[in-house]
Amino acid sequence: MMWVDKYRPTSEDNYVFPIGSAGDTLRKMLVRKNPSHLLLHGEPGTGKTSYVSVFCHAHNVDPFDQFTYTGGEISTVDDIRKKILETVTTSTYSWDGFRVIHLEEFEHISKVGSNALRSIIERAKDTVFILSVNNLDRVDKAIRSRCTTVEVKLATQDFAQLIRTILKEENVEIDKAYLNSLVSNNPNDLRFIINTLEEKYGD
């Protein structure tokens, strides 16, 4: 298994929260009884998809109540009807919880898809939508206004510990200067950093 999968956070204990108020908001959403819909934006490899797992874990969302689609998969009204509408109009698996619908690469949704989704987000019961995108500008304003928007951006000092843990776990001794240059040249992309380390030191 690749290191990025092996060390994908499963709970908040090994999740590196983004800097500033973004981190506070994401922490709060893990304990709120009725979390709002979320729009996560930020560079690749910063933990948007990982947050969805952490969120589902924190809220005990049944695996049968977790759905993921990419923007490209829900671009026609028919896709939206079959994949999203039918889902949100059936009961959740757990009687007192909610389902989570993660829409990844949301920037790839079509205008038609985005319009169809608007009203569904508003009417959906017992459903938390989490949208993730690299570029916020590509998201329709009407969709944005229905979500709490959070920028996912990491600080080096916050994930240094995670890197050390991974290297220790893998029994890797690493040149400090090399690690520092790797981290400072790719300050935001934890996926890239972990992959590069695995390429160099993994077996």
Positions in the binding site for ligand ATP (CB under 6 A): 4, 7-9, 15-16, 44-50, 132, 134, 154, 162, 190-191, 194
User: Which of the listed partners (Mg ion, ligand ATP, none) does 190 bind, with a CB threshold of 5 to 8 Å by partner kind?
Assistant: ligand ATP
CA distances to 3, 49, 147, 151 from 41, rounded to whole Å, are: 24, 11, 12, 5
Closest-by-Cβ residue to ligand ATP is 47
Output 37 or 48, the one with its CB closest to Mg ion: 48
Least CB distance to Mg ion at residue 48 (A)? 5
| Burial class of residue 13 (count of CB atoms within 10 Å of its CB; 0-12, 13-18, 19+) | exposed
Least CB distance to Mg ion at residue 49 (A)? 3
Least CB distance to ligand ATP at residue 100 (A)? 15
Output 43 or 198, the one with its CB closest to Mg ion: 43
In the chain, DSSP finds a helix count (H) and a strand count (E) of 10, 5
Output 138 or 167, the one with its CB closest to Mg ion: 138
| CB within 8 Å of 117: residues ≥ 6 apart | 74, 80, 84, 109, 143
User: Which of the listed partners (ligand ATP, Mg ion, none) does 50 bind, with a CB threshold of 5 to 8 Å by partner kind?
Assistant: ligand ATP
Q: Strand, coil or helix: what is 131?
A: strand
